[in-house]
Amino acid sequence: MKPIITASEYASASAGPRPPVLLDVRWQLGGPHGRPDYEAGHIPGAVFVDLDAELAGPAGKGGRHPLPDPEEFGAVMRRAGVSHDTPVVVYDGGLGWAAARAWWLLRWTGHRDVRVLDGGLAAWTGELSTGTPAPAEGDFRPAAGALPLLDADAAAGLARSGLLLDARAAERYRGDVEPIDRVGGHVPGAVSAPTTENVAEDGRFLAAELLASRFSGLGADAGEVGVYCGSGVSGAHQVLALEIAGYRAALYAGSWSEWSSDASRPVATGPDPQ
């Protein structure tokens, strides 16, 4: 099953015998809260999920967006109507970063039928709703570990033995600028692979063959692949793009916000070693 779905495919599925649970995960890094935009208009039936409060744990040593407690995440999903046997579709209002975070968490905790709406809300041409749905309680019970996960030490090892992709903007990778974290730069040995290069101008993912060519050129055929970003959000988008391309990748969820908070960890700067 493809991890993405087009707006027309979703429209057909929502009118079928097993309509997907639809989650609205609009979020902007450092921007306004997504709830007002949701209340102003969302795809009919969508349930709002708050990335900062419900798709992440409290910020701290584990980074700005550490993984949420699996049981608490499961409770959020059940309230949204998610069951083990119901398909789930997730969308946001941008390039898919927040939607991919929800996709990754559901997949990591064992849900097998989750897809991201390709192109997000902008791809939807149907009517919008301002009503707040009240779905029946779902039965989803998380079983964490269904997708590979890296901690800081494993990420450092993979940068030496395999391929560790840095999904942030190239200037943050190089250390030219660092608007958020303690220090700029990257994990030594990591390869720059900005997430923005996974999508076209309209926010839709590039075709699978184009993504496969991109990641192959970065070295993904040589062995294990891992991904990190600033705080584990856009990195999930990179994992999703890799899956579209046919690669299985591990996520370093703590990412640069965790790595750079520890002054004992080495920091590399400058251009990509490739």
The catalytically annotated residue of 89, 158, 229, 236 is 229
Active site residue 73: no
Residue reference for tokens 């979703």: 10
Query: What amino acid is encoded at 149 in this protein?
Result: L
Annotated catalytic residues are 229
